[in-house]
Amino acid sequence: MEKEIEGGGGRAATVPGLVFLGTPDFAVPSLRKLLESKADVRLVITQPDRASGRGRKIHQSPVKMLAIEAGLPVYQPERVRGTEVIENIRSYGAQCAVVVAFGQVLPQSFLDIFPLGALNIHGSLLPRHRGAAPIQRAILAGENLTGISIMLLDAGVDSGPVLLQKEASFGPEDTFGTVYENLAEKGAELLLDALRDWSAGRISPLPQNSGLATYAPPIRKEELRIHWNSPAKDIINKIRAFDPAPGAWFSLWGKRVKCFRVASVSWAAAGSAGEVIGVADCGLIVAGGCGGALCLGELQMEGMRRMSAGEFTRGRPIPQGSILE
């Protein structure tokens, strides 16, 4: 069975039945857009429910919650591999798969199910930033241009041919959170165009130039700590790349303090790297390496909520001359 969906410019197009794989918030706009367009989503596959938070409560993924709300069948195998799992997915008779931040490497036996392949939404302009953390790595690198790629999955890591791409610029005030939300929405829109045109034979997949590939490996815990002797611009990019989560941090009074809403600032007073050199309307002014300074707008001490730097220092004064570690 095939259904018509509304594509870009209001054109309707026949799109084959599909299986949707996704887990976090980033995948929700894509599934929602498919549902709004009345696409034939036959099955939703998402990661198993996990315990998280202080109380270690079991939580459903955002994709699962939307799928249940929409009355779609949900499948949560621990791993998408093995004969039983593959045959179960095959039984839904889908012509293609849509994969958005699913969280597992998918085997060739899965890809072979679908005559039209598996379409993947990736948060970069491939072949740049292949891997698990393309948005964070772009911000860490001080870039101001990224985008969305709709590609066909192959056995490699984000190495399949590209169907469509769309650029997205961002500014120095943008954080991982704002870029993430923007790309999630842009990806949902571009996905509909890709599904429509790919199924109609109007797209020729473009192989990636692997010689131009760069990689975006997962963020390591040790990368979250701020090193104040780094150039101020690098510290700012680190804080932006991990805002709102997991949060770049420094040590104060033996406790971790996460930083958010950071900005570059010109400040007359000089100081050693990590020294508090003043307070301004934007927040706490701290000296970085290479003579630069930055303003920390919001802070969160471990075990407490996130708050403005002004509120934080009213309850816990940080005198000028203090050294953040």
**What is the domain partition of the chain in residue ranges?**
2-212, 221-315
CA–CA separation, 229 and 274 (whole Å): 7
Per the omega criterion (within 30 degrees of 0), is the bond before 246 cis? yes
Quick one: which of 85, 78, 77, 45 has its CA closest to 64? 45
Map tokens 């704002």 to a residue.
178
27: which DSSP letter?
G
CA–CA separation, 20 and 41 (whole Å): 7
SS3 29: helix
Is residue 32 within 8 A of residue 188, CB to CB? The reply is yes
CA–CA separation, 59 and 68 (whole Å): 14
- For the record, the structure tokens of 241 come out as 């790349």
The number of residues in the chain equals: 325
Beta strand 255-264 pairing with 293-301: antiparallel
Q: What is the pLDDT of residues 257-287, one digit of tens each?
A: 999 999 998 886 678 999 999 888 889 999 9
Dihedral sign for Cα atoms in the order 34, 39, 50, 153 = negative
Region 221-315: CATH code: 3.10.25.10
For 124, 170, 244, 261, the CA distances from 234, given in Å and listed in that order, are 21, 17, 17, 15
* Residues of the chain falling short of pLDDT 70: 1-15, 53-55, 268-269
CA–CA separation, 135 and 128 (whole Å): 11
Per the omega criterion (within 30 degrees of 0), is the bond before 231 cis? no
For 154, 254, 310, 312, 320, the CA distances from 317, given in Å and listed in that order, are 55, 15, 9, 8, 9
Map tokens 């379409």 to a residue.
119
Domain 2-212 CATH superfamily = Formyl transferase, N-terminal domain (3.40.50.170)
Q: What is the pLDDT of residues 242-264, one digit of tens each?
A: 999 999 999 999 999 999 999 99
Beta strand 276-280 pairing with 255-264: unpaired
Rounded (to 5) percent helix, strand, coil in the chain? 30, 30, 40
Is residue 228 within 8 A of residue 324, CB to CB? The reply is yes
- For the record, the structure tokens of 246 come out as 């997991």
- Fold equal for 2-212 and 221-315: no
Residue 236: what residue type? I
CA–CA separation, 34 and 16 (whole Å): 12
Quick one: which of 222, 149, 199, 254 has its CA closest to 14? 199
Side-chain-facing half-sphere of 74: CA atoms under 13 Å:
20
